Amino acid sequence: MYKILGKRTLGPQIREYVIEAPEVARVAKPGQFVVIRLHEQGERIPLTVVDTDRESGGVTIVVQEVGKSTREMGDHFESGDTILDFAGPLGVASEIENYGTVICVGGGLGIAPLYPIARALKEAGNTVIGIVGARSEDLLFYIDRMDAVCDELIVMTDDGSAGRKGFVSEPLREILSSGRKIGRVWAIGPAIMMKVSAQVTREFNIPTVVSLNSVMIDGTGMCGGCRVEIGDEAKFACVDGPEFDGHRVNFDLLMSRQRFYHDEEACALDRYLKSEGKKE
């Protein structure tokens, strides 16, 4: 059992949890993930590590409540409660070096895993340009935290309710077009956002790292459900990734595989909402 040390709402259906897991907190690095399971009937949910605190033994994760399990977590798991399973860290850590100037692009929930990477890049001596975006202002979070670790921060919303109106790929293109020397780009967010960002950086031949959130069961290399095509090769996002060269990822396959359980996920969510009396 793993205790929830803290819970905080970051936006509509976006919550931050700090889970007590000292062994994981001691070693987890930016880019890695954990797998959690709420209870005996629960599924294994992979979530990227956002922050760790060696003193309290806390590991921070951010959860967007898009399905039954994550809704249930938001509705019923409070600070002081416990979750059944918490395993990690899993996956390969981000390659943090001094690349000169880097751009960190985060879309939606992707801002959460991007934050520790941006911070580590800053600590490694990089000039960090942050570009973060969401559909609207209420879905933006961690702006202060990103601001603290970025030399420049550009905020985008689809509807213009905060920052500039438009997609994160627009300022990305502007910066690259300006001729500024960029050593590397990290782009983390929905598959489509990573695909578009990688298309932009490919034009300028800037190495680009993306973090793939494919469907996983165990998260430890055993099921192969998370396999993605990188160039001509099938790779497992869990043990070979989750970060890959964005210019070589088959994003269409990733998106197709992410949708495979759409009907079952909808059915589970519907059943849950009915049982909670939240839906007729």
The residues of the shown chain that bind another protein, judged by CB under 8 A, are 23-24, 26-27, 32, 37, 41-44, 68-69, 84-90, 217-218, 220-225, 227-229, 234, 236, 239, 253, 256-257, 259-261, 264-265, 267-268, 271
CA dist 158 → 165, 185, 192, 194, 255 (Å): 5, 21, 14, 16, 21
- Closest to another protein by CB, 42 or 183: 42
| φ/ψ (deg, to 5) at 82 | -125, 155
Q: How far apart are CA 47 and CA 133, in angstroms?
A: 20
Least distance CB 159 / another protein (angstroms): 30
Q: Give the pair of three-digit tokens for residue 193.
A: 């956002």
Taking the complex as a whole, the smallest distance from the CB of residue 69 to another protein amounts, in Å, to: 5
Q: Which is nearer to another protein, 141 or 251 (CB)?
A: 251
Q: Work out the end-to-end distance of the chain between its first and last CA atoms, rounded to an integer number of angstroms.
A: 34
Shortest distance in whole angstroms from residue 227 CB to another protein: 6
The DSSP-derived string for 232-255 is TEEEETTTT-SEEETTSB-HHHHH
Residue closer to another protein by CB (options 56, 177) is 56
Give dist(CA 170, CA 208) in Å, integer.
Answer: 16
Task: For residue 203, give the H/E element and its range.
Answer: helix 191-203
Token pair, residue 30, equals 């930016």
Q: How far is the CB of 84 from another protein (least distance, A)?
A: 7
Looking at the Cβ atoms of 43 and 78, the one nearer to another protein is 43
Taking the least distance from each CB to another protein, the nearer of 98 and 256 is 256
Nearer to another protein, 143 or 217 (CB): 217
Residue 88 Cβ vs another protein, minimum distance, rounded to whole Å: 6
d(CA 67, CA 160): 27
Q: Which one-letter DSSP state was computed for residue 57?
A: T
CB of 256 vs another protein, minimal distance in Å: 5
